[in-house]
Homo-oligomer: A and B are copies of this chain.
Amino acid sequence: MTSTETLVLDEERRGRAALTALVEPGDDRVRLAAERVGAADLVRRIASQREDSQRMDPFDLADRLLEKAAKVGARLAIPGDAEWPEASLFGLARLAARRQALVASGSSVSTIERSVAPPVALWLRGPLRLADTVRQSVAVVGSRAASGYGSHVTAELSYGLAIRDWTVVSGGAYGIDGSAHRGALAADGQTVAVLACGVDVPYPPGHAGLFDQIAHSGLLVSEWPPGTTPRRPRFLVRNRVIAALTAGTVVVEAGARSGARATARRATELGRVVMAVPGPVNSGTSVGCHQLLRSGLAILVTRAEEVLEEVGRIGADLADLPRAPDGWRDRLDEVSAAVVEAMPAMDWVSASTLCEAISFPADQVTTALAGLVEAARLHRDADRYRLAAGARTTPTSARPSIR
């Protein structure tokens, strides 16, 4: 590579860094202009159009941002980088191209159409490589005002996805989002928080500790440069990135006035699977989910296996999923396999509850339970059972079936 080429690449990276601070994300005209003239030229033009009093050197700005990022352990990813999730964002790029064709033919650009724009760059913080991490990922999102039920179900679901090597992506908010990240972390799994503020900004403040954990073993992602504080419209803009990075979105709880409907439509437009978890019909926090299910915008799911059944169809398109060699679960007889499938990820459960959940006679379930205890796959305490720690690791049989 000549030094000129290195300089151009460096200018492109610095240009895109500056763009994330100079222009609000979500406008595809910016991305297209950056591709046409190069990000460096684009930021020079943008800077020159500013009032004299606000004028600065965009490359100085970029250097300050990159320096600040380095200080907080963050980095910038741009198109062309090894970890840029080109495959995941392909849906976005295709939609943007379709919109562009419409614009060229004289159609007007609605706000919604504009908001399918791929990011021009992403700020990242954490040890995971973005592209690899989201190649097999599901978004788990929902209400900030989650019920105890919603928090519990979310944690179980995310735990179940994570132990099957699927990455749990969410928005880092209080409520369902927080439970989603924590469930994945509890399984020593991969989790990604896509934020509407800088990857070094602890918002919401109560999640400062959670973000530190994610920065340590997962990945914090943002379109805004380090130090950026959240503003209300940014959450909606951010949501398109969550949808685009993942094979599908699970809404666990959502109130009647939530953005669940808009999120579902967006994800569907992007060719992603939308799923919703039902709940008590007299619970306000499940109203949005039931509306999604009634309107046919979402598929009903109750546990991780069902989520993977749905995204497996998409996952097979996005990437060739390597199939691990058969594990102990694959060698179980039919009844024992059903028992293990029905076991909650972490809780104790009684034999009678298990019998109720499984379509096999009670005596066969009892025999299977005894066998699993003897094989040290289950712990037993009087009439209660739970999965042994070793029995929780990556059940290969539960990888998405490719149909």
User: A353 at interface (Cβ–Cβ under 8 A)?
Assistant: yes
User: Which residues on the B side are within 8 Å of A156 (C-beta)?
Assistant: 282
Cross-interface CB contact of A356 among B255, B280, B300, B302, cutoff 8 Å: B255
- A277 and B286 CA atoms in complex are apart in Å by 13
Question: Nearest-CB distance from A140 to chain B (Å)?
Answer: 14
Cross-interface CB contact of A300 among B284, B290, B302, B344, cutoff 8 Å: B290
Nearest CB in chain B to that of A252: its residue? B281
Interface flags, A250-284, vs B, CB<8A=1, else 0: 00000111000000000000000000011111101
Question: Is A299 within 8 A of B303, CB to CB?
Answer: no
Question: Is A300 within 8 A of B306, CB to CB?
Answer: no
User: Which residues on the B side are within 8 Å of A285 (C-beta)?
Assistant: 356
Cross-interface CB contact of A281 among B279, B287, B353, B356, cutoff 8 Å: B279
User: Which residues on the B side are within 8 Å of A46 (C-beta)?
Assistant: none
User: Which residues on the B side are within 8 Å of A318 (C-beta)?
Assistant: none
Number of copies of this chain that the complex holds? 2
Question: Is B280 within 8 A of A280, CB to CB?
Answer: yes
User: A152 at interface (Cβ–Cβ under 8 A)?
Assistant: yes
Cross-interface CB contact of A303 among B281, B344, B358, cutoff 8 Å: B281
User: Which residues on the B side are within 8 Å of A344 (C-beta)?
Assistant: 282
Question: Nearest-CB distance from A151 to chain B (Å)?
Answer: 12
Interface flags, A288-315, vs B, CB<8A=1, else 0: 0010011000011111001000000000
Question: Nearest-CB distance from A180 to chain B (Å)?
Answer: 15
Interface flags, A118-138, vs B, CB<8A=1, else 0: 000000000000000000000
Question: Nearest-CB distance from A68 to chain B (Å)?
Answer: 40
Question: Is B278 within 8 A of A300, CB to CB?
Answer: yes
Nearest CB in chain B to that of A283: its residue? B280
Nearest CB in chain B to that of A356: its residue? B284
Cross-interface CB contact of A294 among B286, B290, B306, B357, cutoff 8 Å: B306
Nearest CB in chain B to that of A257: its residue? B359
- A residues sitting closer than 8 Å to B (CB atoms) are 149, 152-153, 156, 255-257, 277-282, 284-287, 290, 293-294, 299-303, 306, 344, 353, 356-359
Q: A278-B300, A279-B281 are in contact. List 6 more A-B contacts (CB 8 A).
A: A153-B280, A255-B356, A278-B281, A278-B290, A281-B302, A294-B302
